């Protein structure tokens, strides 16, 4: 009598063939199988490449204005040195090329649409390696550790209801720990980014719906979001670490205009210096011109007032008067006489 726990010939052939798990191309068109693979990658490997690949596929669907905003969010989260989910096999040259595009050609929609092409190629290389590892696990009979049996997955291919139930049963429990950490504000940058990217994939790649999932997403920021409340604000560099991520990345003092990273707010002194006085263009020109006409010995601290020094100060007064009261022609004549 055959052992009932042994795999049937049909199931064994399926394991060897791997079905939709055979290639990434097949995997993308089978959401339930993709959810199983995503669970495996998050549990046993680095999910950066898979999350980046899926989210940047959504990125290409935006318009020029949206892609410009989203590009900064994705670039700072996955590609730049020090990014929380930096892709392992993408070198700094690729990141610099994207920097150049965002600085010089961010108004060109077609260029923006292809800005992550090289990084996606690199990400796909790592995904193929991860898929090969998962296939080895399946061959060893460990596939069900990360999702239902192949027979259940096959049944879901033509049944949307079963497909969604499988996806929810796998990914919602995976998502909840990230949300708990985010809400308790004990999450590090990497977990925060993973949670946000996973929420994006669940809502916009798998299309999860319903009250329970909506309440989950309301608690989590997402990438490629058209919600104006999550508009990215690129705060100036106030520290050496990059200000990365999605949504507002810091705070600005409404009085003095100081920009500060949100992680640094607690260590900032509360003594506000007050409103910053903006320099007028005219004043800037005066400063530069005065540096040019000022004698070298006038820059030294005088021991006593003398005639030459008094003449110098008088010249400055005349210069300022002519600049503000007289015409530019008078100013040119005076500068010529000097």
Mind giving me the DSSP string for 104-125? HSTT-HHHHHTTTHHHHHHHHH
Query: Both 211 and 286 in a single domain?
Result: no
Residue 11's pLDDT is 47
117 near 276, Cβ under 8 Å?
no
249 within some domain: no
333 within some domain: yes
4 within some domain: no
Backbone angles phi, psi at 90, to 5 degrees: -105, 115
Query: Both 26 and 118 in a single domain?
Result: yes
Query: Both 22 and 104 in a single domain?
Result: yes
SS3 248: strand
Question: Rounded to whole angstroms, how far apart are CA atoms 246 and 232?
Answer: 6
- Among 166, 197, 196, 189, which Cα is nearest to 50's? 197
The pair of three-digit structure tokens given for residue 64, joined into one six-digit string = 């020029």
Q: 146: which DSSP letter?
A: S
Q: 265: which DSSP letter?
A: G
Would you write out the chain's pLDDT as a tens digit for each of its 338 residues? 334 344 444 444 444 579 999 999 999 999 999 999 999 999 999 999 999 999 999 998 889 889 998 999 999 999 999 899 999 999 889 999 999 999 899 889 999 999 999 999 999 999 999 999 999 999 999 999 999 999 999 999 999 999 999 999 999 999 999 988 888 877 789 999 999 999 999 999 999 988 777 777 777 889 998 764 333 333 333 334 455 555 555 566 767 766 665 556 556 666 676 675 554 444 454 444 445 444 444 444 444 444 444 444 444 444 444 444 444 444 443 343 44
The count of residues in the chain is 338
Query: Both 211 and 292 in a single domain?
Result: no
In 10 A of CB 73, how many CB atoms?
24
Residue 213's pLDDT is 79
Residue 170's pLDDT is 97
Backbone angles phi, psi at 142, to 5 degrees: -105, 10
Query: Both 317 and 176 in a single domain?
Result: no
16 within some domain: yes
Which of 198, 218, 238 is the C-terminal boundary of a domain?
Answer: 218
Contacts of 186 (CB under 8 A, 6+ apart): none
Helix segments in the chain, DSSP class H: 9-17, 24-28, 31-44, 48-59, 64-78, 92-104, 109-113, 117-139, 150-156, 160-183, 189-204, 211-218, 281-293, 307-324, 328-337
Residue 138's pLDDT is 95
Query: Both 120 and 201 in a single domain?
Result: yes
In 10 A of CB 238, how many CB atoms?
14
pTM: 0.68
Provide the CA 238 distance to its chain's centre, in angstroms: 17
Helices 64-78 and 48-59 cross at an angle (nearest 10°) of: 170
30 near 157, Cβ under 8 Å?
yes
The pair of three-digit structure tokens given for residue 233, joined into one six-digit string = 């604000």
CATH of the domain at 68: 1.10.167.10
Residue 269's pLDDT is 63
Query: Both 168 and 305 in a single domain?
Result: no
Residue 290's pLDDT is 45
Residue 211's pLDDT is 78
Which structural domain, as residue segments, surrounds residue 155? 9-218
> What is the rounded radius of gyration, in angstroms, for the C-alpha atoms of the chain?
31
Distances (CA, A) of 129 to 50, 69, 146, 171, 216: 11, 31, 18, 22, 32
The pair of three-digit structure tokens given for residue 237, joined into one six-digit string = 């560099």
Residue 265's pLDDT is 58
276 within some domain: no
Question: Rounded to whole angstroms, how far apart are CA atoms 69 and 223?
Answer: 10
Question: Rounded to whole angstroms, how far apart are CA atoms 65 and 62?
Answer: 8
Domain count, the chain: 2
Query: Both 199 and 92 in a single domain?
Result: yes
213 near 168, Cβ under 8 Å?
yes
The pair of three-digit structure tokens given for residue 322, joined into one six-digit string = 């002519």
Query: Both 212 and 285 in a single domain?
Result: no
Query: Both 83 and 162 in a single domain?
Result: yes
């Amino acid at each position: 009598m055959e052992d009932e726990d042994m795999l049937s010939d049909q199931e064994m052939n399926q394991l060897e063939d791997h079905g939709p798990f055979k290639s990434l191309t097949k995997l993308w068109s089978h959401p339930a199988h993709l959810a199983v693979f995503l669970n495996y990658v998050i549990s046993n490997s680095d999910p950066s490449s898979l999350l980046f690949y899926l989210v940047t596929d959504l990125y290409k669907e935006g318009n020029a204005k949206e892609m410009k905003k989203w590009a900064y969010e994705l670039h700072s989260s996955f590609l730049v040195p020090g990014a929380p989910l930096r892709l392992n096999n993408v070198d700094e040259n690729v990141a610099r090329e994207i920097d150049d595009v965002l600085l010089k050609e961010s108004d060109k929609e077609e260029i923006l649409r292809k800005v992550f092409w090289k990084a996606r190629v690199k990400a796909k290389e790592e995904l193929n390696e991860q898929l090969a590892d998962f296939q080895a696990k399946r061959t060893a009979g460990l596939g069900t550790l990360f999702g239902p049996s192949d027979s259940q997955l096959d049944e879901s291919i033509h049944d949307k209801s079963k497909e969604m139930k499988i996806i929810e049963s796998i990914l919602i429990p995976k998502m909840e720990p990230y949300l708990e950490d985010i809400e308790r504000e004990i999450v590090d940058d990497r977990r925060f980014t993973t949670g946000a990217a996973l929420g994006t994939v669940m809502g916009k790649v798998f299309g999860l719906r319903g009250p329970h999932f909506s309440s989950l997403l309301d608690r989590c920021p997402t990438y490629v979001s058209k919600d104006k409340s999550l508009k990215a604000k690129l705060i100036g560099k106030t520290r050496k670490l990059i200000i990365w991520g999605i949504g507002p990345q810091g705070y600005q003092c409404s009085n003095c205009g100081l920009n500060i990273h949100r992680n640094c707010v607690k260590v900032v002194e509360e003594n506000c210096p007050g409103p910053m006085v903006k320099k007028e263009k005219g004043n800037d020109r005066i400063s530069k011109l005065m540096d040019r006409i000022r004698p070298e010995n006038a820059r030294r601290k005088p021991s006593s007032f003398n005639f030459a020094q008094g003449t110098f100060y008088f010249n400055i007064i005349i210069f300022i008067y002519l600049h503000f009261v007289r015409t530019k022609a008078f100013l040119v004549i005076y500068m010529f006489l000097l």
